[in-house]
Structure 1
Amino acid sequence: MFRHQGKNRTFKHNLRLASNLSLIAGIVNSVGVLAIGTLTTNVTGHFAYFSEEFITGRYSNAVPYILYILFFFLGAFVSNSFIEIAAIRKKKYLHTTPMFLELFLLVFVGFWNYWNFKNTADTNQIAYLLLFAMGLQNALVTKISQSTVRTTHLTGLFTDLGIEISQFIFYRNHPNTPKLKKNIFLKLSIVFFFFTGCISGTLLFYQIGLKTLLLAAILIAIVLTMDNLIFYYNFTLRKLRRKTPVK
């Protein structure tokens, strides 16, 4: 689901990508809100908070909101930079570095209370790291799926879903209806798994706190492992078929 690009990508690849990574984003979303009271999977709301603090003259309070936006942007920038470097060097695994970096950040924040930082009350640091991690993921998913899949926020998704369901009602006999059905199913899957991640993340947070992020990190490790196993299984199968003589 990570390796296939362009015409080689299928609906099944995008569905696997969407369901797995939206589940992870849902967990991060719930942990960010419950642990530090901050949105950590998107930056839309932070523009409004920044504007309020800036207009009322509380400039020092406005700075973190700009940094929230900047760290999400930097995550996306770094993610795509790694992908472009890997593409230039003709590496097969374009997704490896961004995904491992995201995994590392989630583990790091998951053990935040064990690092004995001098100013552990400053929750902005947690927000910066989680927003950077979600910027990494969002850029990776967008790049691989050619903007078909988004996993870290649902605003644009619900807009597209509303349009496509309306089109399905009015144009049921249209030649593009099968493709439209797939698009609707893909988006509903993202919504379902994002909410599942939020619910499971909330339940776990009340039990183990920030260590809930370790579940998201474990899921990334499982996704990467399964993707490798599926790839090598299919590769081996194709190789064996070529060697088998046709009767």
Structure 2
Amino acid sequence: MFRHQGKNRTFRHNLRLASNLSLVAGIVNSVGVLTISTLTTNVTGHFAYFSKELIVGQYTKAIPHLLYIFFFFLGAFVSNSFIEIATINKKKYIHTAPMFLEIFLIVLVGFWNDWAFTATADANQIAYILLFSMGLQNALVTKISLSTVRTTHLTGLFTDLGIEISQYFFYRNHPNAIKLRKNIFLKLSIIIFFFAGCILGTLLFYQIGIKALLAAALLITIALTMDNLIFYYNFTRRKFRKKGTKNILNGFKKRTNE
């Protein structure tokens, strides 16, 4: 899910990545809105709010919206910087640092009230951290999927989905129709899992409050664990298969020499 890049990535890799992290983004989105009444997975609306406060002269109210935008950008910048550093140093696990940082930040906010902070006074700080973590996530999935998957907002997805469904009506017998169907299915999966995350986040919020974010951290942890288990399973299977093939060849050579 996380390890494969470029030609090594398959539709299945992108689907697993999209479904899991869209669920995470949905949880963060709903919990952010319910906790601090702020969008914490995208910055589109914050441009409008920033412009409004700027025009009416409410500069102190405009600054937080500008910082919301900046922290999402900063998260994307930091995420890709980690990836580039790992790539330069030829590290196998380029996704590890951004994912672990995202888990840490989401857990930090999940226990916000337990750190003796006041959620009302620190609403902006919560928004900054969550927007930064979503910038981390969006940049990571965009990078490793070659811009095929985006998980933190749906505006562009609905645009692409509308275009591709329209194309499918005209080119359903075209040789690329199979690829088009896969693209449509992938985008629908992202939308469905994002919505499911919003529902799950809302249900959990009314039960345990801001700690509902811990479910998002748990999902990322499970995704990383499963990715490692699948990798080592496939690695071990290939290793034993090569060993078995080698033994067969050695036995054949031995019988030939006799």
TM-score, shorter chain, exceeding 0.5: yes
CA distance in 2, matches of 1:174, 1:118: 58
The equivalent of 1:39 in structure 2 is 39
The equivalent of 2:164 in structure 1 is 164
The equivalent of 1:138 in structure 2 is 138
Pairwise CA distance, 1:116: 1.3
Q: Is the 8 A contact 2:50 2:66 kept in 1?
A: yes
Pairwise CA distance, 1:117: 3.0
The equivalent of 1:69 in structure 2 is 69
Pairwise CA distance, 1:108: 0.3
Letter of the 2:214 counterpart:
L
Pairwise CA distance, 1:122: 2.7
Letter of the 2:189 counterpart:
S
Instruction: Indicate whether 1:26 and 2:26 are aligned.
Output: yes
Instruction: Indicate whether 1:232 and 2:232 are aligned.
Output: yes
Q: How does 1:158-237 map to 2 (within 5 A)?
A: 158-237=158-237
| 1:196 counterpart SS class | helix
Identity %, equivalent residues: 79
Q: Deviations over 1:142-182 (max 9, x none)?
A: 00000000000000000000000000011111110000000
Gaps spanning 5+ residues in structure 1: where? none
The two structures have a TM-score, normalised by structure 1, of 0.98
Letter of the 1:138 counterpart:
N
- Compared with structure 1, are the counterparts of its residues 34 and 241 closer, same or farther at alpha carbon in structure 2 (3 Å cutoff)? same
Gaps spanning 5+ residues in structure 2: where? 250-258
Paired residues, number? 247
Q: Is the 8 A contact 2:112 2:119 kept in 1?
A: no
Letter of the 1:20 counterpart:
N
- Compared with structure 1, are the counterparts of its residues 194 and 157 closer, same or farther at alpha carbon in structure 2 (3 Å cutoff)? same
Q: Is the 8 A contact 2:113 2:119 kept in 1?
A: no
CA RMSD of aligned residues (A): 1.0
Q: Deviations over 1:99-121 (max 9, x none)?
A: 00000000000000011137852
| 1:244 counterpart SS class | helix
The equivalent of 2:253 in structure 1 is none
CA distance in 2, matches of 1:225, 1:126: 27
The two structures have a TM-score, normalised by structure 2, of 0.94
